Amino acid sequence: MKSTNTYRRIRKGKAMISTLLLGIAISSLLLGEQANAQSIATSSTSSVTREQQDPFLGALGAASDEDVYDDLYEGHTLAETARRNNKNPQAIIDLQVAQMNEMLTQRLIDGTLSPDTYRAQKEELTDIITQSVYGQHPYNQ
C-alpha cells in the first residue's frame, strides 16, 4: 500500500514538473532575448512589477521558477500555488492560452503547421491548459 502511494506521488510530481516546464518553455519561446534583456535592465528598478518581468511568475504570485518547481515537486498544482499567493488561477490559464495561441499562429504563418492541425490544436488548447493548471492529468488518477 505504501509503495503504491509513493508511486502515485512520484507520478503526480512528474506531471506537475511537466506543467512547470510547459510554462517556462512558453515564456522562454515567446519572450526570448527580450525577457533576458528586460530582466537585466530592470533588476535594479524597484518600480517594475513581477508581472512585467515574468508574466508566468507574476500570474502565480511566485518569486522564482525554483519556488514553482518546489511547489510542483511537493504535489501542489499551479492553481494551488496561485491561490496561496492570492492570485486567480484563471489568469495563468488565460496567459498560457494566449501565449500558445500566439505560438500556434506563428507556426501557421511559418508554414510548419497545416491549417487543419492549427484549428485542431487551437480547439483543444484551453481544455489541455486548464487540466494542466489544476493537475488533472489522466495519468494522475
Average pLDDT over residues 22-32: 51
79-129 pLDDT, tens digit per residue, is 999 999 999 999 999 999 999 999 999 999 999 999 999 999 999 999 999
Average pLDDT over residues 26-50: 46
DSSP helix/strand/coil, 85: coil
**Selection from 58, 61, 56, 63 nearest residue 20 by Cα:** 56
Provide the mean pLDDT of the chain: 76
Q: How far is CA 108 from the centre of its chain?
A: 22
List Cβ neighbours of 9 (8 Å cut-off, separation of 6 or more): 75
Kindly state the cell numbers that stand for 126: 484551453
Q: Per-residue confidence at 37, pLDDT binned at 50, 70, 90?
A: very low
Average pLDDT over residues 42-51: 46
**Selection from 128, 136, 21, 131 nearest residue 68 by Cα:** 21
Q: Would you state the pLDDT for residue 8?
A: 52
Q: Would you state the pLDDT for residue 52?
A: 58
Q: Per-residue confidence at 53, pLDDT binned at 50, 70, 90?
A: confident
Predicted structure pTM score: 0.65
Average pLDDT over residues 13-37: 50
